[in-house]
Structure 1
Amino acid sequence: MSLAVLVEQFLRLHAEFHPVDATFMGLDGHDGRLPPADTEALEREHSMLSRLAQEAGRLPAGSSSAERLELKMLRAQVHVAIRELQHRPRFHNPTWYTGETAFGIISLLLPSDPPRHPDSLRQRLEAIPGFLASAQSWLGQRAIPRDWVRRARLECGAIVRLLEQGLRLHPLWSEALEPPIRSALASVRQFTANLEHHPEANPASGEEYLEFLMREAHGLPFGPQEAERLALEGFEQYQSELEAMAARLDASRGWREQLAALENQHPPLEGVIPTYEFWNQQALEAAEAAGLVTPAREYGLTFQTLPEWARSLAGDLYFLFYRSPPAGRAGSGSPYWVFPPADPLEAYLRGQNLASIKITHVVHHGSIGHHTQNARARASGVRLGQLAGTDCASGIAFLSGGTMIEGWACYVQDLMKEAEGFYTPQEQLMLKHAELRNAAMGLADIRLHRGTWGLEQVRRFYLEAVGMAEGRVWAETTRNSIYPATRLMYWLGTQAIRQLRQAVGGEPRAFHDRLLSFGSLPVGWVAEELHRG
């Protein structure tokens, strides 16, 4: 059996058991379904994946970069899916049910080219009661980490608001949706009530599973112990550099005070979206003029106020500013959601400060960050590299894409320092803090899942050593606990790209364009191909 046939078999299998992922990817034919969650679903999926793993194991490595990378991705994702079913089955996590329910609906409401069919929305709504009833069979009285239960309850509240309010504000709304909405609401409320009685469990995945993900999914040449050492060294180095930078800028104020002062530099209310647009254009032009990378100008990015139907639920869900478009329905551009004004207005405007707009929204997510990387991935000769970075209900479609996706977006924040004059000295202080934060989150990811730290220790670390906003800490650490080996891919991916650039050398634009051409794949695997010449 050929590699191409096996890849398509894997995608069909993935869509069968992850139909919401399929909607986000643009793999048509699954928009009316929620995932199978009957008591035999795990065994069926495991059996099918095991047969696929055997077939993939028989294939030769391939003669081209695309073939070699495709086979590595296929084997990795099949092995990761099998191990997840064995070690941390999604069926045991209440947030999987709430995430799939919420984004099963939301995925059909987001812009799509061509638009989704109204019947798919009705069918998914009709599927919610059965899906959540199956959840109770799996969850029962199982011990579950307390914070996972809390997150599931928050997401249930968001689903209720979507069903009661948001859907009625969307163009796909019709009176025919009323009966399935009533049934769905009743099932969500029952699911929420059933969350009351679970004993507490440890959220740590364990060191062996963490090492498996690092080596198999991310293609890293080392395990958690070496990664922890590197992350700790990085954190301590950036901490020292951050303090020295702050002292040079203003010896009378520490870095925390100076970063807080940046929040006072914000546009007026009517200038928020124009500021996003202006700096996005500036980033594109600066990157091109400095010969850093070829931006995805052929694929548009429009900054829009978050639609009214989503406003009451975005805060409690994995609702992204920028979401990678479905590879199969990419259209000609992506929307970038700008959150609307909120009370108190001054706090809202401080959150829309110029430094954050430039670094986080324009460079990291827009312009040459995720936006360009996603556009280039869709043209990759590696089919799974085209799809891996798709943002789904709870994260990217395939974990193996993570070091490239997040590594690139963090790397380009610093890359723009090579475009002279793009950042102010104060904004470069924020960049150094971003490095500190990424190393810290990688360190926390490792220590949490090795069992060295508990969640409360991670939270204190984020608050006291990293200076993370208190309102963000709980959600961030809870997400860390649910998805091992995800936060470490930001810093380790960034470091891998830096090291590869230094090793390969040459003109920056040529290096970066070549790097992105492979798609959303482990940076280490791409490095092997680049070193081949």
Structure 2
Amino acid sequence: MSQLEGWVEQYLALHARFRPVDASFMGLPGHDHQLPPVGAEALEHERAELEAFLSEVGGGAAEPETAGERLDLWLLRSQLRVTLREAQERPRQHNPAFYTGEAAFGVISLLLPNERPTNTDAVLARLKAIPEFLTTGTKTLEQLNLPADWVERARKEAEALEALLLRGLSKHPDYQAEWQEPAVQAAVAVQVFASALEAGNADPACGRDYLEFLMREAHALPFSAAKAEQRAQAAFEALGSELVEMAHELDPAKSWQEQLAALEQQHPPLDDVQATYQDWNARALDAAEGLVTPAREYGLAFEFLPEWAREAAGALYFLFYRSPPAEHPGDGSIYWIFPPGDDTAAYLRGQNIPFIKAVHAVHHGSIGHHTQNARARQAVSRLAQLGGTDCASGIAFLSAGTLVEGWACYAEDLLLEAPGFYTPEEELLLKQFEFRNAACCLADIRLHTGQWTLAQMRAFYRDEVGFAPGRVWAETTRNSIYPATRLMYWLGTQVIRELRAELDLAPQVFHDRLLSYGCAPVTLIADEMRRQHPQGTV
């Protein structure tokens, strides 16, 4: 093992010790029975270890000779710098939703289907660990002035976690009677934790300096927040005009908003929802031939959300598509379809065919996250194999975001190059998606640089972007907790588009090689592809 390989494994061991729930999702062994260490002593210990490690690997060194080594060294230093600064300035332990999210997904991560049987002993151990974990959280948080919306999010998640503990667990096929009493005690602890939270008036913005640090050190973006804002503003205005023009060409009598609302009526019968997901996923795989090599060897099964998770899933980060642990992925994924509720008509409007095609079949399934995850497991960079893993509240490494979300958004538009896959009205929907991503990039920057308050951000989403009212609060609150996460969608997509135009490779060659590097900043992948194709030749 080389020195760099040793450092990488040392970092993964450190990451797993301080973030054991991440480790469960990533498939790193030995921590499934633990919740994260919390409290002042644990935070200081983490800071000290990160500082010592960074001093060891952060100095000048000869440039590695291979792409995998270059990416591993950059990602290693990035993770250490980003995690250390987070621990110093915005500790996750100071976010009340950290406690509810980790407690919930500490259990859920062990209950999701994958190639290994459920570790029932680990579930029991984590259930037993929840009360002390939350008690320590209460002691930490009671000294702080907390943003009111962070508290509200934690309370919503606490309700969902309580539902899981008291009513959901017993419906799981691997439920054990010995889980019952620890689950009840954990539910009591959740109630106590939520009732002790006090909403303050702290500003959730991270500040321009911190945001630009994340843009530079996590995303490897070569420009300032002001430059990114300028680019996003120009795109927002241009895309808004394009929406108006496209809609006028389709139907001069109806606005683009009215035309998109009409797409909601194009839905399958209730009994055909599952089959519609499967059908459009298969069609997307076929349509992508010649553009990218889909991950056909890695299956995707569309199933309704299991009963044990239904009551809890809505308020938690319970994703439609979550790839199994990269360290032992098996041969396929489960894609959850949320079941109908009391309002069948509203449910079917949400299950309209254009949305199923673009978001579920393409963005998350087929050639989107599903293929991207499969290719990442073969990456030459060890850290790029793991960085895009979905964990309790987001991906494992923020540095993976411009590739992970940039690719999935890009993939939606890629199938515009497959004749007949989208209708003209669906092309209007894709334009709206890009319009919204540019808007979210703007909002991320303006919130965290202090130009907008949360209230102003919400008014922008509601009045100028057109987000559904039910989405606005959750979207903005999440963005306030996790700066530089919403900007990575649009900016990542732009880097991919610009690189493709620059290299001018055959489509399938370009896309397959882009994905082969795994989950790393797309700007670094672009640099590696330029090394490989300095003049765009195959």
Q: Report the Cα distance in structure 2 between the residues aligned to 1:56 and 1:304, rounded to whole angstroms.
A: 45
Contact 2:295–2:374 at 8 Å: present in 1 too?
yes
Within-5 A mapping of 1:393-404: 393-404=392-403
Match of 2:232 in 1: 231
Post-superposition Cα deviations, 1:454-489, rounded to whole Å, max 9, x if no partner, equal: 111111111111111111110000001000000000
The aligned amino acid for 2:108 is: I
Within-5 A mapping of 1:471-510: 471-510=470-509
Report the alpha carbon displacement of residue 61 of structure 1 after superposing the two structures with TM.
Answer: 2.2
Q: Report the Cα distance in structure 2 between the residues aligned to 1:198 and 1:422, rounded to whole angstroms.
A: 49
Q: Report the Cα distance in structure 1 between the residues aligned to 2:191 and 2:470, rounded to whole angstroms.
A: 26
Q: Report the Cα distance in structure 1 between the residues aligned to 2:441 and 2:507, rounded to whole angstroms.
A: 27
Match of 1:334 in 2: 333
Deviates more, 1:363-372 or 1:171-180: 171-180
Please state whether the residue corresponding to 1:340 is helix, strand or coil: coil
Q: Report the Cα distance in structure 2 between the residues aligned to 1:418 and 1:451, rounded to whole angstroms.
A: 40
| Structure 1: 5+ residue stretches without partners | none
Report the alpha carbon displacement of residue 55 of structure 1 after superposing the two structures with TM.
Answer: 1.8
Post-superposition Cα deviations, 1:166-212, rounded to whole Å, max 9, x if no partner, equal: 000002212211221122111111101101x3421100000000000
Contact 1:141–1:198 at 8 Å: present in 2 too?
no
The aligned amino acid for 1:244 is: E
TM-score, length-scaled by structure 2? 0.98
Please state whether the residue corresponding to 2:301 is helix, strand or coil: strand
Please state whether the residue corresponding to 1:111 is helix, strand or coil: coil
Question: Which of 172, 175, 191 is the equivalent residue of 1:173?
Answer: 175
Question: Which of 98, 113, 129 is the equivalent residue of 1:96?
Answer: 98
Match of 2:53 in 1: 52
Match of 2:276 in 1: 275
Q: Report the Cα distance in structure 2 between the residues aligned to 1:181 and 1:63, rounded to whole angstroms.
A: 52
Pairing 1:313–2:312 present: yes
Please state whether the residue corresponding to 1:335 is helix, strand or coil: strand
Please state whether the residue corresponding to 1:127 is helix, strand or coil: helix
Report the alpha carbon displacement of residue 137 of structure 1 after superposing the two structures with TM.
Answer: 1.9
Match of 2:367 in 1: 368
Q: Report the Cα distance in structure 2 between the residues aligned to 1:313 and 1:393, rounded to whole angstroms.
A: 14
Q: Report the Cα distance in structure 1 between the residues aligned to 2:394 and 2:8, rounded to whole angstroms.
A: 21
Post-superposition Cα deviations, 1:386-426, rounded to whole Å, max 9, x if no partner, equal: 00000000000000000000000000111100000000000
Post-superposition Cα deviations, 1:291-350, rounded to whole Å, max 9, x if no partner, equal: 100000000000000000011011111110001221012011000000111121011001
Q: Report the Cα distance in structure 2 between the residues aligned to 1:89 and 1:218, rounded to whole angstroms.
A: 20
Q: Report the Cα distance in structure 1 between the residues aligned to 2:305 and 2:199, rounded to whole angstroms.
A: 36
TM-score, length-scaled by structure 1? 0.98
- Structure 1: 4+ residue segments shifted above 4 A: none
Please state whether the residue corresponding to 1:304 is helix, strand or coil: strand
Report the alpha carbon displacement of residue 506 of structure 1 after superposing the two structures with TM.
Answer: 1.4
Match of 2:217 in 1: 216
The aligned amino acid for 2:104 is: A
Match of 2:535 in 1: none
Contact 2:412–2:430 at 8 Å: present in 1 too?
yes
Report the alpha carbon displacement of residue 113 of structure 1 after superposing the two structures with TM.
Answer: 1.2
| Structure 2: 5+ residue stretches without partners | 533-538
Within-5 A mapping of 1:71-470: 71-195=73-197, 197-288=198-289, 291-470=290-469
Q: Report the Cα distance in structure 2 between the residues aligned to 1:157 and 1:252, rounded to whole angstroms.
A: 46
Report the alpha carbon displacement of residue 42 of structure 1 after superposing the two structures with TM.
Answer: 1.0
Contact 1:19–1:33 at 8 Å: present in 2 too?
yes
The aligned amino acid for 1:412 is: A
Q: Report the Cα distance in structure 2 between the residues aligned to 1:347 and 1:520, rounded to whole angstroms.
A: 36
Match of 2:25 in 1: 24
Contact 1:142–1:198 at 8 Å: present in 2 too?
no
Match of 1:69 in 2: 71
Report the alpha carbon displacement of residue 23 of structure 1 after superposing the two structures with TM.
Answer: 0.2
Q: Report the Cα distance in structure 2 between the residues aligned to 1:116 and 1:328, rounded to whole angstroms.
A: 16
**What percent of counterpart residues are identical?**
59
Please state whether the residue corresponding to 1:334 is helix, strand or coil: strand
The aligned amino acid for 2:423 is: T
Contact 1:141–1:199 at 8 Å: present in 2 too?
no
Match of 2:529 in 1: 530
Q: Report the Cα distance in structure 2 between the residues aligned to 1:324 and 1:117, rounded to whole angstroms.
A: 18
Post-superposition Cα deviations, 1:417-461, rounded to whole Å, max 9, x if no partner, equal: 000000000000000000000000000000000000011111111
Contact 1:126–1:184 at 8 Å: present in 2 too?
yes
Report the alpha carbon displacement of residue 532 of structure 1 after superposing the two structures with TM.
Answer: 1.2
Q: Report the Cα distance in structure 2 between the residues aligned to 1:38 and 1:456, rounded to whole angstroms.
A: 32
Question: How many pairs were matched up?
Answer: 530
Please state whether the residue corresponding to 2:286 is helix, strand or coil: helix
